[in-house]
Chain A
C-alpha cells in the first residue's frame, strides 16, 4: 500500500509539473487571448473589458491555479476558434481515442505473447527465422504507412471496410469497433514485432538461469518449466515494454486517426495546433498526459504484483 501511495504521489506531482510547464509555455508564446478571440480589429476598450472578464490581468500563477481548479471541475476553458467550451469539443473524442488504443493494445498482446513464446521454444527453427525477418521489416514500417498499406489491402483489394466511412460509436457501436480494427492493427503491428523480439530473448535468457535447472531436477516437464517457472520471470521486462508501448500507442493514434479520418483526440489536436487554438491544445495534451500517466501507474502496480522484489526496494 505504501508503494501504491508513493506511485500515486509521483503521478500527481508529474501531472502538476507537466501542466504547469505547458500552461506557462503557452502563456508566453500565445500572446493575448483576448486579441485572439476578438480579432485585431476590436476596440482597445472591448479588449480590456474581455481581459478583465477572463482574469488575464492576474499574475500567471493565479491564472494557472484558476485553470487547474476549473479543469478539475470539468471546465476546460473556451476555444478561441469556435467560441465554445473546450470540454464539449473534447469529451466525445476521448472514448474514440481510448477505444482505438485499447483495441491496438489487445491486438499487440494477442499477437506478441504466443509468438514470442513460440519463437523462444523453437529458436533457430524455420518459423523463428522467418518471423525474425518479418519482425525486422515490420519494425521499420512507419505506422501511418502500414495504415496506408492496410487501407490498400483490406479496403481496396479485400473490401473488408470502406476507407473514410467512419461510424460514430453513438450510432452503431459494433460498426464503430469494426472500423477501428484496421487502424488498431496498424498501430499494433510494429509494437507487436518489438514485443515478440523482447519476449523471445527474455525467455531464452531466463531459460539459462540456475532456477530452471532446479525446476527440471524436481521432475517438471519442459512445458511446466516454461509456464510455471520461466514465463513469470521472462514477463517482467515485457510488462515494462508493454506499458511504454501503450503510452506510445496513445500518441501514435494521433497519426493513425489522420490516415483513417477518425475524429479522435489526435484530429482535434492537430487542427487546434494549426489554428493556434491554445486552450484546446492544452486540454488535449493534458487529457493525453492523464491517460499516459494512468497507464504508467497501472504498469507499475502490475510490476509490483509479478516481481516480489520490487516492493522491498
Chain B
C-alpha cells in the first residue's frame, strides 16, 4: 500500500528533476550566458551575483555556463558508456543465455571474474592502456559495464527460452536469431530498463570520478567532475565554485534513481 504510493511519488519527483536537467542541458547546447571557456581576469572568483548566478572560477569563467556545458558532456559520456555496455551486454547475455553450453561456461567464468572487480578499477586499467581523454573514458567505462548487463540479460534469456510459446515458435521453424531478438528480447524490456537506469547513474558517477582524477575529459572542455577537481584547490576561497557542479551531479543521479525505483518491476 504505502510502497505503491512511494512509487508514484518517485515517478513524479524523478520525472520533474530529470525533465528540468534535460531542459537545462538542451538549452546549454544552443545557448549559454557566457562563452564557457571565455576568461575574464576582472571576474576571478566573483561571488554569486545577478550577472553570474553561480559565480566565476579561478580564470574568471562563468560557472553557470560551464555547468550547462559540463552537464551535457557528462550526460553524453554516460549515454555512450551505457550504450556500449547495453549493446554488447545484450549480445553476450543473449547468446550465452540462449545457447548455453561450453561457450556459456567460458564466457560466464570470464564475466564473473570481471564482475568481481570494481568497475572504476577496470576503467583505470583500460585508461592506462588507452590514454586519457573523453572517448577513451567512454570506451573504458563501456567495457567495464558490459559484464553487469550481460549477467542480467543472460538470466532473463534462460528464464524465457524454455517457455511454451518460445518452444512453439521454434517448432514452427523460426530462426534462432528471430526467436532471440523478436520473441525474447522485448520481454526483457522492464528488467533491462531498470538496469539501464542504474547503469546510467553509475556511469555519471564514474565519469565524474574519472574527470575528477584528471584522466577523463581534458581541459579546457568543461565536465562536472573536472570542474570539481579544479574547484577543490580553491575550496575555502570559493566554496560556491565546488558546490554548484556537485549539486548538478546529485540532481542528475537523483532524478534517474527515483525514476529507476518507480519503474522497477513489482516483486
Contact = CB atoms under 8 A, between A and B. Distances in A.
A and B touch in the complex (CB under 8 A): yes
Interface of A: 14, 17-18, 22, 25-26, 29, 123-124, 132, 136-137, 139-145, 148-149, 151-152, 156, 163, 205, 247-248, 250-252, 254-255, 258-259, 269-270, 273-274, 276, 278, 281, 285, 288-289, 292-293, 296
10 contacts: A136-B257, A140-B254, A145-B228, A148-B242, A152-B242, A250-B121, A251-B120, A252-B118, A255-B120, A270-B213
Contacts of A25: 125, 129
Contacts of A270: 213-215
A29 B249 CA distance: 34
A208 B251 CA distance: 35
B48 to A, nearest CB: 16
A137 B209 contact: no
Given A124-B2, A258-B212, A285-B125, A148 B228 contact: yes
A273 B127 contact: yes
Contacts of B253: 139-142
Contact of A149 (B129, B246, B258): B246
Nearest to A152: B239
B30 to A, nearest CB: 27
Given A137-B254, A141-B250, A258-B213, 9 more contacts: A17-B113, A18-B117, A22-B125, A132-B6, A139-B257, A142-B225, A144-B209, A148-B228, A251-B118
A29 B228 CA distance: 31
Nearest to A205: B267
Most buried by A among B118, B119, B132: B118
B118 A292 contact: yes
Nearest to B114: A18
B37 interface: no
Nearest to A123: B2
Given A148-B228, A273-B127, A255 B209 contact: yes
B201 interface: yes
A182 to B, nearest CB: 14
Contacts of A144: 208-209, 212, 225, 228-229
Given A29-B129, A145-B249, A156-B236, A254 B117 contact: no
B213 A142 contact: no
A4 B118 CA distance: 23
Given A255-B212, A273-B128, A292 B2 contact: no
Q: Which of B129, B132, B208 has the most CB of A within 10 A?
A: B129
B155 interface: no
Contacts of A288: 121
Contacts of B116: 14, 247, 292-293, 296
Contact of A273 (B215, B239, B252): B215
Interface of B: 2, 6, 110, 113, 116-121, 124-125, 127-129, 132, 201, 205, 208-209, 212-215, 225, 228-229, 231-232, 235-236, 239, 242, 246, 249-254, 257-258, 261, 267
B232 to A, nearest CB: 6
A183 to B, nearest CB: 13
Contacts of A251: 117-121
Nearest to A163: B235
A123 B2 CA distance: 9
Contacts of A258: 212-213, 229
Residue with the greatest number of chain A CB neighbours at <10 A, chosen from B116, B205, B249: B116
A203 B174 CA distance: 45
A252 B120 CA distance: 7
Contacts of A269: 124
Contacts of B261: 136
Nearest to A266: B213
A301 to B, nearest CB: 15
Given A123-B2, A132-B6, A270-B215, A140 B125 contact: no
A14 B236 CA distance: 45
A281 B127 CA distance: 11
Contacts of B121: 250-251, 254, 285, 288-289, 292
